[in-house]
Amino acid sequence: MRSTPELDARAGLDKLATYPYTILTWVDSAGYPVSVAVEAAVEAVAGYALFGQPAGLTVPLDRDVSLTGSHIRPQPGYGYDERRHVTVWGRVVPAGGGQLRLSADRAWGWDETEVPFFEYSERSTGQSRKYFDALSRERGTPVRPRLSLGALTLRTTRLPFLTATIVPVLLGILVAASDGAFDLLSAVLTVIGASFVQLAINVSNDVFDTAQGADDANVTPTKFSGGSRVIQYGLVSFRQMAGLATAFYLAAAAIGLLLLAIRGSTALLVIGIVGFVVGLGYTAPPLKLVYRGLGELAVAIGFGPLMLLGAYVVQTRGALSLEPFVVSIPIALLVALILYVNEIPDRRGDARAGKRTLPVRYSQATILSGYRLAVAAAYGVVVAGVVAGILPIPALLVLLTVPLALRVERGLEPNYDNPYGLMAIMGVNIQLHIFVGLALLAAYAIVLVVAAVAPGVPLFLGR
Amino acid sequence: MATLPEPVERLLESALVGELTVVNPAGRPVTYPLIPLYDGEKVYLTSSTLFSRKLEHIKGNPKVSVSITDPIAVGGRTDRATIQGDARVIEDDPHGGWERLLPIWEKKEPAIVYFLKERIALPLFFERALIEVTPRRALYWASGSATAAPVVTEVGKEAA
């Protein structure tokens, strides 16, 4: 993959014409490059540039010389920005009147307004790999890029995304507690086991996305999308990642079996099996749910009802009710919307890898409407649940998060084609899921406290 | 000890960006805008492994030049210079060896320290090699204009 877009000689001259001066460079008779600032008159259509013969120096006519334009804007106290440069190469001939004419035959350059720095870096990952391969051969021992263990762990496991698990699991435990069922040991084991499930999914997704080329094809990853990229960067090998995913799955399975042994029920067994199939099948063949446009649905089910009801039935030993299912719906919708928004900047790479996500399949207008509809549904379910007496009145605390939803909704359209502008919006979208979860957790904490100190106070309409 | 002419040293010290030119295997000059870092004797530049093709070229042909041409990048000075020299790639420790130049780098680009703290976000950018340029010859244009011949100094010798 090229790190910069193709640039032909004509386009290079067009760009060169925008610089206030150019740097004429050639290799002198001693073999060293010489650079001289000159003022060039660019005739891009005719394919040449004219400039004065530099005084006291001899520009060779028998080899390629170059003209370079370079620009930065100093930012005191920070550094600089607005980086761009372009070089055109060609032979020089005397043009009369002390002028020289360079006929351009090739060009190269970079403009960060056209290829943002982060994308430029991503596109250059192959060059870094080549560098380390060569260094390894030279030293006779593998040399790989490095990160501190803490940073590598965070990056590899995408640990901060554990909120997607913690929120529904804690909600399931609290809803069960409000129904009178609570066991501390199994609650702790549930949180740990579910976290291992998500870590296993995070890592195995990178393994399968790498195997299927999706992460390699993505040149605009952000901190919220495009995978951990530790394999692409050479920080962790494919084999190590596969081993780590297996270890996480084994740890999750061990805790799952322990929970089945001490708090087992048919419901928990079914939820565990469905969760395993959906989690692994998210990117793994033969299901490859995310490649078939079912990723959002899989994430909604996995990190909504499955996590929440799973945690609930551990506490109730298999007893189910409508309430935890209704609570899981807004969480399911909002966690799916995290993926949905994160897939927007990934859509070109995903399309190249045959990953038929919703932003790959549908137009911008449809995707934006889909976001509005799903967010409205999330709030609508909570309000309807309260009105129907299924959810406690304090669940209306979720309405405090509406401004966050509006910020995302308003930020999506102007940043739809700007992955790095979208990064802030993706951050707010993740906060929306967390804060709605916290509001619902607070609602059930209120239910528990009121039940303990003022049992007669009704917190459910109609009950 | 070989030294560069005083005005060339001042240019190197003030330049936010200069141009490193290397020679590729086809014998063509290839120019890269980079931050020149000067320790009073040698010129240093650093290159991320992401953009390490220049390092391959230097290993193939160590003859390079560093030019300072942009008045905006040198705080409005209008004089210009090109330093020809022999380059050496220092890559004993690409993970952190380059950080010994961080104090000089930070003076020119204060934000680099912040970016380094966020190394987790762009790990390969901070896997870097050092390019050490030993000056051999300096060309200096006091007026900045190529219509006047440069003052040429063989480094360590009398000005031409």
pLDDT by residue for chain A (463 residues), tens only, comes to 556 667 899 999 999 999 999 999 999 999 999 999 999 999 999 999 999 999 999 999 999 999 999 999 998 888 888 899 999 999 999 999 999 999 999 999 999 888 878 889 999 999 999 999 999 999 999 999 999 999 999 999 999 899 999 999 999 999 999 999 999 999 999 999 999 999 999 999 899 989 888 777 777 666 666 788 999 999 999 999 999 999 999 999 999 999 999 998 999 999 999 998 998 888 888 888 888 888 889 999 999 999 999 999 999 999 999 999 999 999 999 999 998 998 898 888 778 777 888 999 999 999 999 999 999 999 999 999 999 999 999 999 999 999 999 999 999 999 898 776 788 899 999 999 999 999 999 999 999 999 999 988 999 998 7
Domain that holds residue B117: 6-145
Of B99, B124, B22, B32, nearest in space to B65 by CA = B22
Q: Residue B130 falls within a domain, yes or no?
A: yes
The Cα B12–Cα A80 span in angstroms is 17
Q: Return d(Cα A145, Cα B32) in angstroms, integer.
A: 23
Which chain B residues are closer than 8 Å to A71 by Cβ?
A: 70
| Residue pair B70/B80 in contact by the 8 Å Cβ criterion | no
Q: Any idea what DSSP says for residue A53?
A: P
Is residue A369 helix, strand or coil? helix
Interchain CB contact of A68 with B (< 8 Å): yes
In chain B, which residues have their Cβ closer than 8 Å to the Cβ of A21?
Answer: 69
CA atoms within 13 A on the CB side of A62: 3
Q: Which residues contact B38 (CB under 8 A, 6 or more apart)?
A: B9, B12, B13, B44, B104
- Res B160: pLDDT: 43
Interface check A121 vs B, CB under 8 A: yes
* Residue B58 neighbours by CB distance under 10 Å: 23
Which residues of A, range 21-40, sit inside 8 Å of B by Cβ? 21, 23-28, 30-38
**Interface contact flag, B69 A118, Cβ < 8 Å:** no
Per-residue confidence (pLDDT) for residue A343, from 0 to 100: 87
Q: How far apart (Å, rounded) are the C-alpha atoms in residues B143 and B160?
A: 17
| pLDDT tens sequence for chain B (160 residues) | 558 999 999 999 999 999 999 999 999 999 999 999 999 999 999 999 999 999 999 999 999 999 999 999 999 999 999 999 999 999 999 999 999 999 999 999 998 998 898 888 889 999 999 999 999 999 999 999 999 999 999 996 544 4
| pLDDT score at B158 | 46
pLDDT at A68: 98
Predicted local confidence at residue A80, as pLDDT: 87
Q: Is residue B154 part of a domain?
A: no
Residue B114 domain-assigned (yes or no): yes
Question: Is residue A242 within 8 Å of A293, Cβ to Cβ?
Answer: no
**Minimum distance, in Å, between the CA of residue A90 and any CA atom of chain B:** 10
Alpha-carbon gap, residue A332 to A375, rounded angstroms: 11
Nearest CB to B33: which of A30, A54, A70? A70
Look at A130 and B52 and tell me if their CB atoms are within 8 Å. Answer: yes
CATH code where residue B51 lies: 2.30.110.10
In a domain, B56, yes or no: yes
**Chain A residue with minimum CA distance to B137:** A32
In a domain, B1, yes or no: no
Chain-chain contact of A35 with B124 (C-beta, under 8 angstroms): no
B66: closest CA of chain A, how far (Å): 8
Residues of A in contact with B85 (CB under 8 A): 32
| Residues A361 and A293: beta-carbon distance below 8 Å | yes
Tell if the CB–CB gap between B137 and A83 is shorter than 8 Å. no
State the total domains in chain B. 1
DSSP 8-class letter at B150: P
* CB-nearest partner of A37 from B31, B64, B80: B80
Q: What's phi and psi for B33, nearest 5 deg?
A: -70, 125
E strand or H helix at A169: helix A163-178
Cα–Cα distance, A434 to A432 (Å, whole number): 5
Tell whether B11 is covered by a domain: yes
- H/E element holding B55? helix B53-60
Q: Using CB atoms, pick whichever of A23, A54, A233 lies closest to residue B69.
A: A23
Q: Do B82 and A36 touch (CB under 8 A)?
A: yes
Token duo for residue B155: 């480094």
What is this structure's pTM?
0.82
ipTM of the complex: 0.95
B4: left (phi over 0), alpha (psi -120 to 50) or beta: beta
